């Protein structure tokens, strides 16, 4: 089928259009998750709710060995191996450790200092809805090919629950994987796409600086540790930015600096912590050595001993061209050419990138802004919410992808 003919399709030509009753059920499911957010590796209630609904649809979900999260195949008999690689859809199911600050919202979080402020409840509901629609089509003999649903825990816990899911066989027999992430800058009813890197790498860094301490009247007799910490905070980001191609976007930003207890005492200990983000995969792989060298140079210059804890996070999500094109064709088939827009590479991190180290795939930005709304409720803020029409959009995007031949995607 050509792109031109797909662009003219109405939403009811391809199977997998969401009924009003199922949309209402999915909205209620999403709101229930929103009211009961659970942190990474603690998503027991969430896992049980997903499992129960999939089983009601006649499916056989398998809970991951970590105890939370699950995978579920559709279109395969128990124990059957697929004749061709599976298409997988991934959702992340965990919440954030921040309070829900929405006002007059009947489904705001009921758990103190916990909130689905990144849209994972929407992602989960989209993949669940996709599974329910495809299960019904399979029962009618209409499923184009078998698929796998992956409900992954602990996306917010570095280096990401994706690694646990992969280790537990989530990608066995999978040949391609797709996902969406809520984007409050894009109107509901639209998606943002980008071939190549769409997120950045994200690592965490903790530094301890030590010296003998002393009196502020005699800094020349000791290590002026506060000045050393200040120079590390200022000079290290500048140094590392000059040791890679500036287009790599290697950036270190501090979130915490702590040292000292009295105004006339030079302390013996200082701590800094922050995040390192990088737009380029190769530069990210070189980043630990570059950062260690820069910190050692600055600390030594100021006679401070440094101890560095560099915590690997996630690489950039690099969208495969064919998978990105499949998502574009699926969205065009459902809602026309104007429903797809180009998106920029984000500095946020996403552990969906780990799946793409093994199989090709792509992540789309799912619009969740209410059309005409001027206030952007950004991700990771307590007042974040989504236009729930996005649930239907996500489900129909994924179901359309199942029925479009990926081998005909245009380069």
pLDDT in tens, 303-352: 999 999 999 999 999 999 999 999 999 999 999 999 999 999 998 999 99
The pLDDT score that the predictor gives to residue 2 is 39
Tokens of 305: 């001993």
Question: What is the pLDDT, as a whole number, of residue 407?
Answer: 56
The single residue listed with the structure tokens 């570059």 is 290
pLDDT(5) > 60 = no
pLDDT digits (tens, 9 = 90+) for 249-269: 999 999 999 999 999 999 999
The mean of the pLDDT values for the chain is 94
Pair 144, 402: CB distance under 8 Å:
yes
- Dihedral sign from CA coordinates of 17, 23, 25, 26: positive
**Per-residue confidence band for 371, with pLDDT thresholds at 50, 70 and 90:** confident
Q: Is 227 helix (H, G, I), strand (E, B) or coil?
A: helix
Report DSSP state, residue 222: S
Which of left, alpha, beta for 191 (phi over 0: left; psi -120 to 50: alpha)? beta
pLDDT digits (tens, 9 = 90+) for 235-250: 999 999 999 999 999 9
Place of tokens 């699950």: 70
Mean pLDDT of 272-300: 96
* Nearest Cα residue to 240 out of 299, 313, 311, 290: 290
Tokens found for residue 326: 């499949």
In three-state secondary structure terms, 319 is strand
Q: Can you give the pTM of this predicted structure? A: 0.89
In this prediction, residue 12 carries a pLDDT of: 47
pLDDT of amino acid 4: 37
- What number is the average pLDDT over the span 100-117? 96
- Predicted confidence at residue 376, as pLDDT, reads 77
pLDDT greater at residue 2 or residue 220? 220
Whether the predicted pLDDT of 121 surpasses 60:
yes
Higher pLDDT: 153 or 81? It is 153
Q: Which of 92, 64, 32, 129 is nearest to 317 (CA)?
A: 92
Q: CA-CA distances (angstroms) from residue 136 to 18, 139, 149, 162, 403?
A: 11, 5, 15, 28, 14
Do residues 224 and 266 make contact, with C-beta atoms less than 8 angstroms apart? yes
Indicate the pLDDT class of residue 107, thresholds 50, 70 and 90. very high
Q: Using pLDDT thresholds of 50, 70 and 90, give the confidence band for residue 373.
A: confident
Q: Are the C-beta atoms of residues 359 and 174 closer than 8 Å to each other?
A: yes
Task: Supply 26's token pair.
Answer: 């999915």
On the question of a cis peptide bond just before residue 159, with omega within 30 degrees of 0, the verdict is yes
Q: Checking DSSP bridges between strand 147-152 and strand 86-92, what pairing results, if any?
A: parallel
Q: Flag whether pLDDT at 3 surpasses 70.
A: no
């Amino acid at each position: 089928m050509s792109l031109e003919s797909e662009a003219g399709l109405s939403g009811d030509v391809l199977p997998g259009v969401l009924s009003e009753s199922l949309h209402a059920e999915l909205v209620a499911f999403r709101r229930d998750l929103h009211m009961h957010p659970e942190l990474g590796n603690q998503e027991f209630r969430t896992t049980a709710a997903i499992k129960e609904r999939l089983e009601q649809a006649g499916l056989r979900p398998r809970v991951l060995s970590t105890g939370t999260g699950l995978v579920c195949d559709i279109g395969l008999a128990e124990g059957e191996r697929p004749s061709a690689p599976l298409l997988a859809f991934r959702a992340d199911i965990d919440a954030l450790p921040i309070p829900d600050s929405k006002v007059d919202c009947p489904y705001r979080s009921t758990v103190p200092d916990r909130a689905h402020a990144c849209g994972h409840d929407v992602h989960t509901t989209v993949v669940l809805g996709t599974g329910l629609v495809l299960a019904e089509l399979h029962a009618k003999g209409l499923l184009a090919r078998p698929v796998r649903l992956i409900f992954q825990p602990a996306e917010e816990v570095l280096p990401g629950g994706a690694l646990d899911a992969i280790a537990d066989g989530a990608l066995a027999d999978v040949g391609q994987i797709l996902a969406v992430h809520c984007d409050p800058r894009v109107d509901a009813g639209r998606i943002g796409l980008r071939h190549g890197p769409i997120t950045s790498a994200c690592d965490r860094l903790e530094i301890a600086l030590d010296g003998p301490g002393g009196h502020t009247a005699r800094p020349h007799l000791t290590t002026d540790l506060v000045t050393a910490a200040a120079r590390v905070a200022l000079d290290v980001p500048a140094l590392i930015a000059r040791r890679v191609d500036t287009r790599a976007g290697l950036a270190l930003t501090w979130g915490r600096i702590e040292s000292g207890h009295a105004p006339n005492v030079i302390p013996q200990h200082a701590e800094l912590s922050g995040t390192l983000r990088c737009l380029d995969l190769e530069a990210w792989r070189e980043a630990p050595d570059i950062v260690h060298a820069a910190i050692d140079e600055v600390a030594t210059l100021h006679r401070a001993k440094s101890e560095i804890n560099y915590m690997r996070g996630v690489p950039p999500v690099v969208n495969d061209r064919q998978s990105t094109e499949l998502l574009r064709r699926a969205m065009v088939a459902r809602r026309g050419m104007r429903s797809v827009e180009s998106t920029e590479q984000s500095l946020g991190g996403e552990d969906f990138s780990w799946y793409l180290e093994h199989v090709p795939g792509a992540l789309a930005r799912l619009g969740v802004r209410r059309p005409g709304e001027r206030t952007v409720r950004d991700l990771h803020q307590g007042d974040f919410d989504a236009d729930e029409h996005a649930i239907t959009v996500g489900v129909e995007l994924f179901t359309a992808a199942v029925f479009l031949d990926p081998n005909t995607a245009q380069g």
